[in-house]
């Protein structure tokens, strides 16, 4: 497919775009803004950026290098290097299975909003109670969830991921441009400047361990780390492609899009509801409640809304496809069954696990796990518990068992490793200590919550 003399160039762009396709998704556009709004704006942004440049950089480098070195996906990669650590591969594999179902619930919400805009209900969707009404319906959220999940499953079943990725490569730049336009518009609304200040200026009095935990979980989620996915991507990476600069580009893409999404949504929250703690703490519904109001006030807002939701849908699909693909191949490898059967199984399990999340804000709203709705609970389990554990064990494994040297050599096999000192210090000392402290304090907090 590739011309040999250009393969390293094509190889790098191809690799960065494929990994960015998995990384950029609802995590950036839906999840990042609502967390930033909830956890103090500027302080969350600052903590996130620091983590991205240190933890994110070190872990992504480590995972991709592990994959490229072993040419295996998570379970095999850990097992081949040290039998005792194959547990890390297994743990990492559980994460996508937890995320996939509720990811598709949110994908269903996006699909619902797209259809609402297409069918001319844009101004209804901008109404205050529209979102609340929708997610409290007994059947509707389940239907949209299953539709979205089925589309993901069909793509994986038919093996047409490449087609979707191609379309998405065209869509991603358009999404970036459109988001910048919407953000620019949001910022011009009366009251939006207070939102901009809230988003950009760190207020250190709002700093807490929870802020760091939330930012760390978001980092893993958004960059598809600690779940074996980047190991798999790394296993397909060519030896001659520069690993360090690829990691930097993926990070730049991913963080850039999240940052712009925040600009689009947070100032608008201030413009429409004065940035009250209640409005800022909305959680998973924030994007769905805010953006239709922005579109409503724009000329041609219905069309902009349609374009926006189509683009987000593609960004989400490339991510859910990569999630499902991972789960399907783990099951194929483990149980030696046919790929199509594995697909059907994953689809059915996802329906079972996703229905509670789809209904958790309405019909089953009274059922709480550790004080959380189903969706928040799954989100918490994967992002704030399992992923930090996997990240911690990965750091221990690389820092003390495999030794950073092995990763550094792998990176250097394709060029200079400029930040190898930073990599080594973060992987060996900073990351494991911080992750452990944050993990323990968050679990204690969740248990405290439980006792109330």
Instruction: Return d(Cα 27, Cα 21) in angstroms, integer.
Output: 12
* Residue with smaller CB distance to ligand PHE, 231 or 408: 231
Among 111, 179, 246, 322, binds ligand PHE (CB under 6 A): 322
Nearer residue to ligand PHE within complex by CB, 99 or 178: 99
Q: Which of 15, 17, 19, 22 binds ligand PHE (CB under 6 A)?
A: 22
The count of other CB atoms within 10 Å of the CB of residue 277 is 8
Indicate the DSSP class of residue 83: G
Q: 21 or 404, CB closer to ligand PHE?
A: 21
Is 49 within 8 Å of 212 (Cβ atoms)?
no
Give, as ranges, the residues between 92 and 121 that touch ligand PHE (CB under 6 A).
96, 99
Angle between helices 243-273 and 286-297 (to 10 degrees): 70
Q: Can you tell me which of 28, 232, 350, 419 binds ligand PHE, judged by CB under 6 A?
A: 28
Q: Which of 27, 141, 267, 275 binds ligand PHE (CB under 6 A)?
A: 27
CB of 229: closest distance to ligand PHE in angstroms?
5
Judged by CB under 6 A, the stretch of 22-30, 86-94, 117-125, 146-154 that binds ligand PHE is: 22-30
| Binding flag, residue 224, ligand PHE (CB under 6 A) | yes
Would you give the distance in Å from CA 433 to the centre of its chain?
A: 24
By CB under 6 A, which span of 41-49, 125-133, 171-179, 317-325 interacts with ligand PHE? 317-325
Cα–Cα nearest to 267, from 239, 286, 248, 247: 286
Q: Which of 255, 290, 319, 414 binds ligand PHE (CB under 6 A)?
A: 319
Structure tokens at 360: 């958790």
Of 56, 37, 52, 47, the closest CA to residue 208 belongs to 47
Measured from the CB atom, the residue of 122 and 175 that comes closer to ligand PHE is 175
Q: Say which DSSP state 384 is in.
A: I
Among the listed residues 227, 231, 265, 291, the single contact to ligand PHE using CB under 6 A: 227
Among 17, 18, 20, 23, binds ligand PHE (CB under 6 A): 23
CB nearer ligand PHE, residue 275 or residue 354: 354
Q: How far is the CB of 146 from ligand PHE (least distance, A)?
A: 20
Interface pick for ligand PHE out of 37, 135, 312, 323 (rule CB under 6 A)? 323
CB of 204 to ligand PHE, least distance (A): 28
- Residues with Cβ within 8 Å of 166's Cβ and at least 6 positions away in sequence, in order, are none
Residue number of the CB atom closest to ligand PHE: 27
Q: Which of 16, 17, 20, 26 lies at the binding interface for ligand PHE (CB under 6 A)?
A: 26
- Which residues, at least 6 apart from 285, have a Cβ–Cβ distance to it below 8 Å? 34, 131, 132, 135
Alpha carbons 317 and 323: distance in angstroms, whole number: 10
Q: 28 or 242: whose CB is closer to ligand PHE?
A: 28
Binding residue for ligand PHE, selected from 11, 25, 41, 217, defined by CB under 6 A: 25
Residue 96 has phi, psi (to 5 degrees) of -60, -30
Q: Least distance from C-beta 102 to ligand PHE, angstroms?
A: 11
Q: How many CA atoms lie within 13 A of 192 on its CB side?
A: 18
| Separation of alpha carbons 81 and 84, rounded Å | 9
SS (H, E, C) 51-72: HHHHHHHHHHHHHHHHHHHHCC
- Our finding on whether 183 is near ligand PHE (CB under 6 A) is no
CA distances from 422 to 101, 306, 429 (A): 36, 44, 11
How far is 352 from 344, CA to CA, in rounded Å?
13
230 touches ligand PHE (CB under 6 A): no
Binding piece for ligand PHE, criterion CB under 6 A, among 9-17, 223-231, 242-250, 372-380 = 223-231
CA 358, CA 145: separation in Å to the nearest integer? 7
Residues in contact with ligand PHE by the rule CB under 6 A: 22-23, 25-28, 96, 99, 221-222, 224, 227, 229, 319, 322-323
């Amino acid at each position: 497919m590739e011309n040999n003399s250009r393969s390293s160039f094509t190889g790098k762009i191809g690799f960065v775009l494929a990994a960015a396709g998995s990384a950029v998704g609802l995590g950036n556009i839906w999840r990042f803004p609502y967390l930033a709004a909830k956890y103090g704006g500027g302080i969350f942004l600052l903590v996130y950026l620091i983590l991205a440049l240190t933890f994110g950089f070190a872990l992504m480098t480590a995972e991709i290098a592990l994959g490229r070195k072993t040419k295996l996906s998570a379970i095999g990669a850990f097992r081949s290097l040290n039998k005792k650590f194959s547990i890390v591969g297994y743990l990492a594999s559980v994460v996508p299975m937890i995320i996939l179902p509720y990811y598709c619930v949110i994908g269903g919400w996006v699909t619902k909003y797209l259809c609402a805009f297409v069918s001319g209900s844009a101004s209804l969707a901008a109404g205050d109670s529209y979102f609340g009404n929708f997610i409290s319906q007994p059947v509707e959220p389940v239907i949209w969830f299953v539709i979205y999940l089925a589309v993901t499953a069909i793509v994986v079943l038919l093996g047409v991921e490449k087609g979707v990725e191609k379309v998405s490569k065209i869509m991603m730049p358009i999404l970036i441009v459109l988001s910048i336009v919407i953000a620019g518009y949001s910022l011009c609304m009366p009251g939006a400047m207070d939102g901009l200040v809230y988003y950009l200026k760190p207020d250190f009095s709002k700093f807490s361990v929870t802020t760091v935990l939330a930012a760390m979980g978001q980092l893993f989620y958004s960059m598809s780390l600690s779940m074996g996915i980047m190991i798999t991507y790394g296993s397909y990476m060519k030896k001659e492609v520069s690993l360090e600069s690829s990691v930097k580009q993926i990070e730049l893409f991913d963080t850039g899009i999240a940052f712009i999404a925040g600009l689009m949504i947070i100032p608008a929250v201030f413009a429409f509801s004065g940035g009250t703690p209640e409005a800022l703490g909305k959680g998973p519904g924030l994007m769905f409640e805010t953006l239709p109001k922005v579109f409503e006030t724009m000329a041609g807002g219905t069309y902009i809304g349609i374009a926006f939701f189509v683009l987000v849908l593609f960004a989400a699909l490339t991510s859910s496809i990569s999630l499902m693909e991972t789960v399907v191949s783990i099951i194929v490898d483990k149980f030696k069954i046919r790929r199509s059967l594995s697909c059907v199984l994953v689809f059915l399990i996802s329906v079972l696990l996703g229905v509670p999340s789809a209904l958790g804000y309405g019909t089953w709203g009274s059922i709480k796990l550790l004080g959380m709705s189903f969706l928040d609970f799954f989100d918490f389990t994967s992002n704030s518990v399992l992923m930090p554990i996997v990240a911690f064990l990965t750091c221990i494994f690389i820092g003390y068992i495999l030794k950073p040297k092995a990763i550094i050599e792998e990176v250097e096999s394709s060029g200079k490793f400029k930040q190898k000192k930073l990599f080594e210090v973060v992987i060996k000392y900073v990351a494991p200590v911080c992750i452990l402290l944050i993990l323990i304090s968050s679990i204690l907090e969740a248990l405290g919550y439980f006792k109330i």
